[in-house]
Amino acid sequence: SCVSMSKLSMKEQSGCRKLLRLLPLDDLFALKDTVTNRLIAVESTQEAIEAIISYSQDAEELLKRKKVHRDVIFKYLAKEGVAMPPNSDKQQLTRRTIEHWASGEHLLFCPNLEGQGLKCISSAHGLVLVAIAGTIHRDNACLGIFEKVFGLIRSPMDNNRWKIKIVNMKVEAQSGITDRQLPVITYDSKELLSLCD
């Protein structure tokens, strides 16, 4: 069975399919040649669309291609019920399309609860800072790592309850990660305390 080698998420793939169906046929086949370096022969519109999706590095790269005209993106967004000003340029339409696709993503945050993945300190003012590091996943792909810091303060009414006072998040894309060890907290205690200033 044919497994899509696409780097695009499921939502991006289905969005691209709808959008590519709006292209004139000669543009679609020319785009297929460009994206695949003319290495893939196709016999139908459907095959051309699948080839384009499989060989595109990311959604933005595909939308920026010359053959994907501004009007096609505009028409696609209109069909999706996303109204844009008629004078929007291609860049604005591209950005909006990517936002439209991204809003349907389900990201999974997996904390590293071993040793260095978790750090907890309290400030002089009774604020407790909890920092946690972990990986971010979508479907089966690891997209990157995150570090999240929560500043917690005890509820004045109930000593067992805590309120979130501050939240701080740092995210690094997968391409920036070289070693495959579990993510660790990179903040030192001083940096953590400086977040509550």
Tens-place pLDDT, residues 19-76: 999 999 999 999 999 999 999 999 999 999 999 999 998 899 999 999 999 999 999 9
Q: Are 48 and 25 in contact (CB under 8 A)?
A: no
29 and 85 part of one domain: yes
pLDDT of amino acid 5:
57
Last residue of a domain, one of 51, 85, 102: 102
Domain match, 122 and 94 both: no
Q: What is the pLDDT of residues 72-127, one digit of tens each?
A: 999 999 999 999 999 999 999 999 999 899 886 677 889 998 878 999 999 888 88
CB-based burial of residue 110 (10 Å sphere; 0-12 exposed, 13-18 middle, 19+ buried)? middle
48 and 31 share one domain: yes
The reported pTM is 0.55
